[in-house]
Structure 1
Amino acid sequence: MDIAERYHALDAQVYPWFEAQWQRVVKLHDSQHLPHALLINGMPGLGKQAFAEALAGYVICHQPRDGRACGQCRSCQLLNSSGHPDLYFLAPSDSGKAIKVDQIRELSDFMHSTAQQGGYRVVILNPAEAMNTSAANALLKTLEEPGNDVLLILITHQLGQVMPTIKSRCQRVDCHPPQLAQATQWMVEHLELSEEEAAQLLDVVHGAPLAAIEFKEAGHRALRGKFLVALKELLQDKSTPFEVAASFHKEDVEALLSWLQGLLADVSRIKVGGAAAPIRNRDVQKMLNSVAKYTSKDRIFTLVDTVQQERLGVARRQNPNKQLMLERILIDWRDLVRTE
């Protein structure tokens, strides 16, 4: 693989909610204690890729200062133009596909080569959970003997899907959603929203600011509104699971499942804490209160597990028929409030 095939335009930046994690890795680097492999863990939509790219730029920079890359040296110029020969991006060849063993073998050749600009060679692998078993086992050999001045940055959105042997050979950098006040203020400044609008968006996407931006730009607000109405009508027997599945199976099914999972999480909170429990989907609180009142914890948790598994299957393109999958899930949603 040549540099043109493994390069993409950088979005290197450290968002305010990652400042503590950034200071930690910079301190490790400056004290010459940076490990050869980092595992950046957190939910999607937080900016982990941008964090990884900023770190790559920092360790490759010839003259970093004040905890940031200088932006002026030859390495920085390469990073921000045609691509840097000592930076390697590894991702599935197609979105939703697996990272395969042949890709890891090519990566190993890069990691054991000589840095063309001197200093570090850096690999950003995203997402780590996309590696199939053969690829993960091949990477283990590289992790055991990575070579000198090599930094492998693995990004994961689903830590539980990463092989334990991979996790044990990496130092973890956990990334959490920012505090609501910080995220709201950032969105107000960057999207020209009111605080109320920003807070509502963050509720829908579980507090991930970049996911909120994507939600807004993709026009998902209208789709979510239609989906919520359909879910309510299912509970009221005004429509059937088959009709709803037929209406939505050509939409962004992963987004639909994400929203449904969020609704179920709120139902669980209400079931445990009562109607006053804090929830995210406050615009449909009445419906959620009703579901919590008439369903059982076992039914909720069973459906949560089902939705989670189907989301994983959709992300990996394993589900052959989205309409049938939606039908099964929507039947279970409707049956949450049905008595035997």
Structure 2
Amino acid sequence: MAPAAKTNIALTIPEPGKFELVERPYPHIKSGYAIIKTEIAPICLEGSRIWSEHDFEFHDDPEHLGHEGVGTVDEVLPGSNFSVGDRVIVFQGDHCGHCHACTQALSPTYCDANDPDLRGVDGSAMKGIQNRNESPSGGFAMERYRIAPEANLIRIPDALDFRYAASANCSFGVGFSNQEAMDVKAGDTILVGGVGFIALGHIISALYRNATVIALARNPYRIDLMRRMGVEHIVNPDDDDWLEQVLALSYKGQGVDVAIDGSGVTYYQEKLMKAVRKYGQVNFSGHTPGAHLELSPLHHVIDPAHTLFGQHDVRAKDRERMVRALCNPKVQAMVDVMITHEFPMSRAGEAFDIQVGKQCGKVYLWTQQ
């Protein structure tokens, strides 16, 4: 008897607070792509935004979810640079190979192939990957098998566990690549606000670089995580003298070198910009749909000579250095603190509920379970 044909299983959220696992055909690919047997699909905005509010961005919908992930190469075409069995990190989105982001080894998020204004909603990002391969499934991370452009894969060293490698996207990866771009170094003072999994990734990167970290934080659960990582300075942003406390911790009281927002919440963004020294940097790494920051070019940029910076994802030029950092035992110990919950995909509802409650760090879904 012939062996049964492979199928795919995808996570869907057909209505708020309800998930279903749906069987779909096994993916198929064209040249330049690989099929990955996904092991871990970390949760990003799916929990807070999609689960409870059923609010989707252009690149996802109730039937197609997830962009982060790690796994094992399951199928490639002749001439591939990868082999079946390779363990890989998958960086989100597609790769055209011709645009500025691709030719300069920047983040694939900014590749023209992922721009809905250029390619349309069905032709960009993860939907574009699935449609360009004329595949019945596999464009997304929260599936047992996903399609990935080979240009957006990097092999995982044998000694590096999937759990650590899975932090290479929207947590440690975002923090590491943003700080590479800003040239954060030992001795810098970093102020972090809006502490969720993005900011926790920034904190790990900053401590790895021997920078001093100050956190604006109110959530006791996440304050405990930061303390366990080694953050010594935590300031309650509701205190009347929060700014004076932060300035007192900076060199000569002149303000922090870099301020990083991990939430996209205006409350934190406004405070962070006030605490930065002259010629310092302000980084926006978080995103909250609908949030709007009133920004004055004169008062927020020119007068203080601030540099504003932000990006999603990981620049291709930073991938190897980031993987090397993930092999560091001290980084792994902090990642262990950041990963607070792990669930089989068959219990995704529990994972989403925990994320909505904010009593967590980074939450993982094991997609083969």
**TM (normalized to structure 2)?**
0.28
Identify, as 1 or 2, the structure richer in helix: 1
More strand by share: 2
Bigger radius of gyration? 1
TM-score, length of structure 1 as denominator length = 0.30
